[in-house]
Structure 1
Amino acid sequence: MTLSPLTSPLLEGVTHGFFTRAGGASTGIYEGLNCGTGSSDQREVVAMNRARVADIMGVEALAGVHQVHSATAIVVEDVAARPRADALVTDRPGVALTILTADCQPVLFADRAAGVIGAAHAGWKGALDGVLEATLDAMEGLGADRGRVRAVIGPSISQRAYEVGQEFLDRFLDAESDNGRFFANGVDGKYQFDLTGFGLARLRAAGVAEAEWTGHCTYTDAERFYSYRRATHRGEADYGRLIAAIRL
């Protein structure tokens, strides 16, 4: 099976893809294109999967970060380095920026006129703390204009699958009372959180030209996507990681 990355018309003209499980060499609970070096999958198999992605992206190596659910965005200086951060930007042609996810939002950014791109890992904590805005700030440091930036959120957990408790809701309300609009009543006193709706709202409030979510839910589509929450509910020992990539 060949790799089947999802793309967005908002990023037309920039090489990019939100990769699915298709075309990978991993087996068992990781079956497919597991690109997570932090998983317990066989290292050589993960390396093979990542090499396939690099080939599709037209590069020898993939730039990434050691993701820690922070609001830190870095400018890529060394493709081989893995600094602790959750977003990375570049203006260098031929550098493929990558983010790993398994329910959190993978967000790809591009200002084609300036020749600046970015990629962010935006789970609830990173998004609440400002990782999307930090990515735009870092892009502007390289000459981008957020008023020209197009941003796309890839496969993420959808609201119908994201059940949270009162403490989670309170944390968002403490940050901004208007955040209540991203929560719907669930069952047994729980709530359903709209992570991608929250991400889109933050991007638009930050002043991007356009923003969209691809509309794919990681939790409900096990054939195409890995999901941390689904793996937890199934009692599985680990889970694979999806990769999103972008390059000039």
Structure 2
Amino acid sequence: MSAGGLLAADWRVPANVRAFTTLRDGPGVSLAPFDRFNLGNRTAADGDDPGAVERNRRALAEAGALPSAPRWLRQVHGTRVAAEPGADEPEADAAVTAVPGNVLAILTADCLPVAFAAVSGNEAVAVGAAHAGWRGLAGGVLENTVAAMDARAQDVIAWLGPAAGPQAYEIGEEVFEAFVSQDARAEAAFASTRPGHWRVDLYALARQRLRAVGVERVHGGGLCTISDAARFYSHRRDRRTGRMATLVWMD
């Protein structure tokens, strides 16, 4: 469900969990090609106004009724997980927290955003967020996030947010080999298009890797950032573009 520039996570989690991904048509002020709800301050080098991004982030806090300022990360397409990140933007591509009110945030524009909740009884006791580009996904960023949550894998629930979809995301041999060389079963997530090229299903790869470490409750998938220009930014489609944010926290 989407409203007010926010796409709510569609997953079955306790009532004390909040999660959503922002949409590009939210309450922002960025001009084309970043129009309009760009939340990525590192896109300033490509031409967006840092002041506009700051105004967008203030609008995000209001639109999302955030209990605290988001804990942003300095993402590097790696596998490091920041435990209880603060305001200093640590270099990492995932984060976890067990503190209610701490808002985890990651930025994407084709890479796969994944939200996590570790559940005990009728409430969540920890949440996590991961930025899974193909390098991070192949390197184990999702597995590392699950391990950092200090919970049994069977108690962890995941939501796969909007990413480059399997009908539009074509890759080459480097990506194919990065996954298939680790696990031959990953080949099922690739569809050959021409010599040395495949379309890849990031959602299928994420589900496969999560289930391999015991996370069976995996929701989401099916939204394509490349194909849906009205709602999503896409670096693959536009090159110069903004960033959506995926946020998760516990009340």
TM-score w.r.t. the length of structure 2 is 0.90
Q: Deviations over 1:146-190 (max 9, x none)?
A: 211110010000111111123332232222222211111113552
Higher strand share: 2
Could you tell me which residue of structure 1 aligns to residue 55 of structure 2? 48
- Distance in 1, matches of 2:178 and 2:247, equals 31
- Per-residue deviation, 1:52: 2.0
1:101 and 2:101 matched: no
- Distance in 1, matches of 2:14 and 2:224, equals 22
2:19 to 16, 19, 24: 16
Could you tell me which residue of structure 2 aligns to residue 136 of structure 1? 146
Segments of structure 2 that go 5 or more residues without pairing to the other structure are: none
Q: Does the Cα contact within 8 Å between 1:57 and 1:247 map onto a contact in 2?
A: no
Could you tell me which residue of structure 2 aligns to residue 191 of structure 1? 198
Q: Percent identity?
A: 36
Could you tell me which residue of structure 2 aligns to residue 240 of structure 1? 242
2:83 to 75, 88, 94: 75
Q: Does the Cα contact within 8 Å between 2:14 and 2:119 map onto a contact in 1?
A: no
For the residue of structure 1 that corresponds to 2:67, the secondary structure is: coil
Matched to 2:142, the amino acid is: L
Query: Structure 1 residues 136, 167: closer, same or farther in 2, change over 3 A?
Result: closer
Matched to 2:36, the amino acid is: G
- Per-residue deviation, 1:195: 1.1
For the residue of structure 1 that corresponds to 2:167, the secondary structure is: helix
Matched to 1:18, the amino acid is: T
- Per-residue deviation, 1:84: 0.8
Count residues with an aligned counterpart: 239
Matched to 1:2, the amino acid is: G
Q: Does the Cα contact within 8 Å between 1:155 and 1:217 map onto a contact in 2?
A: yes
Q: What RMSD, in angstroms, separates the aligned Cα atoms of the two structures?
A: 1.6
- Distance in 2, matches of 1:83 and 1:179, equals 31
1:58 and 2:66 matched: yes
Segments of structure 1 that go 5 or more residues without pairing to the other structure are: 233-237
- Per-residue deviation, 1:86: 0.4
Q: Does the Cα contact within 8 Å between 1:110 and 1:118 map onto a contact in 2?
A: yes
1:148-167 equivalent positions in 2, closer than 5 A: 148-167=155-174
- Distance in 1, matches of 2:238 and 2:20, equals 24
Q: Following superposition, which runs of at least 4 residues in structure 1 exceed 4 angstroms of deviation?
A: none
Matched to 2:61, the amino acid is: A
Matched to 2:25, the amino acid is: A
